[in-house]
Amino acid sequence: MTLADLWRAYLTYPAIQIYGLLAVAAAAYTIATARQWQGPALAVLAVFFVYPMAWFLIHRYILHGRWLYRMKWSASLWKRIHFDHHQDPHLLEVLFGSPANTLPTIALVSMPVGYVIGGWPAAGAALATGLATTCVYEFIHCIQHLNYKPKSRFIQKLKRDHLIHHFHNEDTNLGIVSFTPDRLFGTYFASARDCPKSATVFNLGYDLDEARRYPWVMEVTGSPPRDRPPTAFATSDTGGAAS
């Protein structure tokens, strides 16, 4: 995949277009209503620092939690927002989050922070920042999963770190762009050689025994959960994923 192919896959995806349009609208609202710039500026900085921790906590305790698939009403939600992505980590159709789920989350993470700092204009700035940050996260996420080799050593490192999460241990390296929370909570591994191999890295603990007890995800999927992706992918300490 070339860089042009990567940008085409990214920019033509509806979720990214929605985030971009809403970010512009939120920024325009802030510009139109703000009477001073300090509140919105502080909101932008606050969201910038809050976002990595918010993503880490959501990823670790909600997306990787085992309670959503144990309830019939939330099983299909969990399947879409994360289970499918781990079952087939390089499938573009489930690489991006669904706006129906991501937009409320982005608003809940960002807007209260901005409102406390400077009312509704700052809340708009915070929302715009959250949406723009999500676009950056999703672009890096594309690089991490699609068959594209970045030239930047920093981005190569982000890709290696994230693929450890998908191919070695799902409870490690929960970040996308920032792994600072992983370092703080002891879930960061810089090398696949040092990371303990997990038997549930592709099914997040929803194995055949769990599927028999809580069948709703399996019923929606139409097949039993897999303990490996449908195509053999591999990661290395230096290069990411094989095509």
pTM of the entire predicted model: 0.89
For the chain, list residues with pLDDT below 50: 232-243
With 0-12 / 13-18 / 19 or more C-beta atoms within 10 angstroms meaning exposed / middle / buried, residue 68 is buried
Whole-angstrom distance, CA of residue 83 vs CA of residue 69? 9
* The pLDDT value given to residue 181: 97
Segments forming the whole domain that contains residue 54 = 3-241
What are the beta bridge partners of residue 240?
A: 236
CA dihedral angle for residue 171, residue 176, residue 178, residue 179, rounded to 10 degrees: 20
Query: What total of structural domains would you count in the chain?
Result: 1
* The pLDDT value given to residue 92: 85
DSSP 241: E
With 0-12 / 13-18 / 19 or more C-beta atoms within 10 angstroms meaning exposed / middle / buried, residue 58 is middle
